[in-house]
Structure 1
Amino acid sequence: MIGKGKAIAHTRASMLYGWNQEKDAEVIFKQELIGNNPEEVSREFRMIQEQNYHCQKNTLSFVLSPTVNDGQRIHSKGFNEICRKFIEQMKLGDRQAIAFVHRDKEHTHIHLYVNRIDFRGNAYKDSFIGKRSQHAAEKVAEQLELTTVKQVQMEKEFLLKDVRLEIKRRHELSLKQFSPRNFEDYMKAMETNGVNVIPSINKSGSLQGFRFELDGYNLKGSEVHRSMSGSNIGQKLYGHSKNNINNIAPVKILDKAIPVAPRMALSIVKKIANRVIQHSINAGAGIGI
C-alpha cells in the first residue's frame, strides 16, 4: 500500500472532489464530525480552524492506495480499519477526519482529510509529512497483512530480471536468425521476435541508442545488458564489411531518415578497429578465437 500526504488550504474544494458521487465515492470513515455533505463538514472544519489564524494550510490531505488485488478484495469495514490504524500511526487522534473510497478506476484508493488544527487550536507539525505518510502506510499494511511497497518493489525487481534476460535472448536470436547488416534490419528482426525497438533521438535529431519494450517494460539497451548499448549493437551489425564502417546508414523512422550521432558512429568504428587489431594479435600468437 502506498501512502501520500500533504497540508492544503483548499479544504472545501478537496471535500467536493472526495465526495464526488460520479466517482462512486463512499464515506468509509468519520471522526468527530456530524455533517452529511461537503458544505457541512467543511463548515465544521472551519469552526475549529478559526482558533488558529496563523496556520494557512490547515487541512491534511492523504491518499492511501492498496495494490489492485488488495483493493478488489477489501470491503468497507476493511477500508475503515485502514483509516483508523493510519490515523493512529500518524498520531492524529482527537481530530476531525473524514475519508472516502474511490472505485472509479481499477485501482481503488482512499482520500482521507484530517483537520490539522486540534480542539485546543494547535496545528499538527507537517514536516516530512510525505515520508511519514508512506512509513505509516507500510506499518498499516503489515498489520493488516496487505501488500507493502517493499514487496511490490521486490516483485518488480524479480520480474525485471527475467525481462532483461528475455530481451537479451531475443536480441541474440535476432542476430543469429536474420544476420542484420544495419540498424533498420536489426529493428525489423527484433520486431519479428516480439521486441519493440525504439530509437533514442537526441536534441540534434540524431540516433544515439535504443530502448526496448517487452511485456510492459521499457528499458534502455544498457539497462538490459552492456552488450546492447547502441555502439555495441553497431559493432555487431557493421563489423562484417569495411564498406559499412565508412557508411553507417541513417535509420528510416516514419519515412524519415535519422542519421547516426557522430559520437556513436565514432564509437562503433573504434570498437570494430579494436576488434580487428585484437584478432590480428591473437592470430599472430596462434590463439584461436
Structure 2
Amino acid sequence: MIGKGKSIAHTGASMAYGWNQEKDAEIVFSQHLAGETPEQITEEFKIIQEQNARCTNNTLSFVLSPTPEEGKRLNKEQLKELTERFVKEMHLKEQQAIAFVHRDRAHTHVHLYANRIGFDGRAYNDSFIGKRSQLAAENVAKEMGLTTVREVQLEKELDSIHLRMEIMSIHHKVMNDRSPKTLDGYIKSMKAEEVKVVPCINKANRLQGFRFEYRGQSFKASEVHRSMSGGKIIGQLSQNRGVGTQITGGNSVQLLGKTVEMSANLAASLAKNALKKVMSRAIDTGIGY
C-alpha cells in the first residue's frame, strides 16, 4: 500500500471532489463531524479553522492506495479499518476527519481529509508530511497483511530486470539469426519480436540513441545493457554489411528512408567502437609483432 499526504488550502474544492457521486464515492470513515454534504463538512472544518487565522494550508489531504489486486478484494469494513489504523499512526484521532473510497478506476484508493487545526486552535505539525504518510501506510500494510510500498518497488524492480533481459535476448537473436544490415531492417526485425525500437531525436534534429518499448515499459538503450548503446548497434549493423562497409556517411545515417545526422556524442561513440575493432583485428592478425 502507498500513502501520500500534503497540506492544502482549498478545503471545499477537495472535499467536493472526494464526495463526487459520479465517481461512486463511498464514505468509509468519519470522526468528530455531523454534516451530511461536502458543504456542511467544509463549514464544520472552517468553524474550527477560524481559531487559527495564521495557518493558510489548514487541511490535510491523504491518498491511501492498496495494490490493484488487494484493492479489488477489500470491502468497506476493511477499508474503514485501514483508514482508522492510518489515522492512529498519524496521531490524528483528535482531529475532524472524513474519508471516501473511490472505485472509479481499476485502482481502488481512499481519499482522507483531516482538519489541520485542532479543537484547541493549534495547527497539526505537517513537517515531512509526505514521508510520514509513506511510513504510516507501510506500518498499516504490515499490520493488515497487505503489500508494502517497499515490496511494490522490489516487485517493479525485479520485473524491470526481467524485461530488460528479455529485450537483450531478443536483440542478440535478431543480430545473430537475421543479421540486419540497416537500421530500418533492425527496427523491423525487433518489431516482429514485439519490441519497438524508438529513435531518440534531440532538439537539433540529430539522432542521439534509441529507446526500447516492450510489454508496456520503455527503457533507454543503456538501461537495457551497455552493449546496446546506439554506437554499438550501428557498428554491428555495419559489420553485417561486410568488413569496411559502413551504414553511415560521415556523421549521418540512413533511418526510416531518410538521411539523419548523428549527435556529436553518438558519432564519437561510433568512432570509438570502430577504432577498438580495428585494433582488435590488428592484434589478432599479429600486426605490430
TM-score range, shorter chain: over 0.9
One-letter identity of the residue aligned with 2:279: I
Distance 1:14 1:246 in 2: 57
Match of 2:272 among 245, 270, 273: 270
Change (3 A) 1:141 1:110: same
2:249 aligns to what SS in structure 1? coil
**Which structure 2 segments of 5+ residues have no match?**
none
Contact 2:2/2:148 (<8 A) preserved: yes
Given the alignment of the two structures, is residue 250 of structure 1 paired with residue 253 of structure 2, yes or no?
A: yes
Distance 1:68 1:246 in 2: 48
Distance 2:246 2:122 in 1: 74
State how 1:62-81 maps to structure 2 within 5 Å.
62-81=62-81
Tell me the percent identity: 50
Match of 1:283 among 281, 285, 288: 285
Distance 2:247 2:265 in 1: 14
1:256 Cα shift? Answer: 5.2
RMSD: 1.8
Contact 2:213/2:219 (<8 A) preserved: yes
State how 1:123-142 maps to structure 2 within 5 Å.
123-142=123-142
1:100 Cα shift? Answer: 0.4
* Residue matched to 1:193: 193
Contact 2:19/2:25 (<8 A) preserved: yes
Contact 2:99/2:111 (<8 A) preserved: yes
Q: Deviations over 1:108-154 (max 9, x none)?
A: 11110001011111100111101111111111111111111111111
Contact 2:211/2:218 (<8 A) preserved: yes
**Which structure 1 segments of 5+ residues have no match?**
none
Aligned length: 286
Change (3 A) 1:137 1:246: closer
State how 1:3-152 maps to structure 2 within 5 Å.
3-152=3-152
- Between 106-115 and 174-183, report the one with greater CA deviation: 174-183
* Residue matched to 1:216: 216
Contact 2:4/2:134 (<8 A) preserved: yes
Change (3 A) 1:56 1:262: closer
Change (3 A) 1:19 1:270: same
One-letter identity of the residue aligned with 1:151: E
1:202 Cα shift? Answer: 1.2
Q: Deviations over 1:177-215 (max 9, x none)?
A: 221122221111111122110111111111111111111
Distance 1:39 1:124 in 2: 23
Contact 2:207/2:261 (<8 A) preserved: yes
Distance 1:51 1:263 in 2: 61
Contact 1:60/1:116 (<8 A) preserved: yes
Contact 1:245/1:269 (<8 A) preserved: no
Distance 2:263 2:245 in 1: 18
TM-score, scaled to structure 2: 0.94
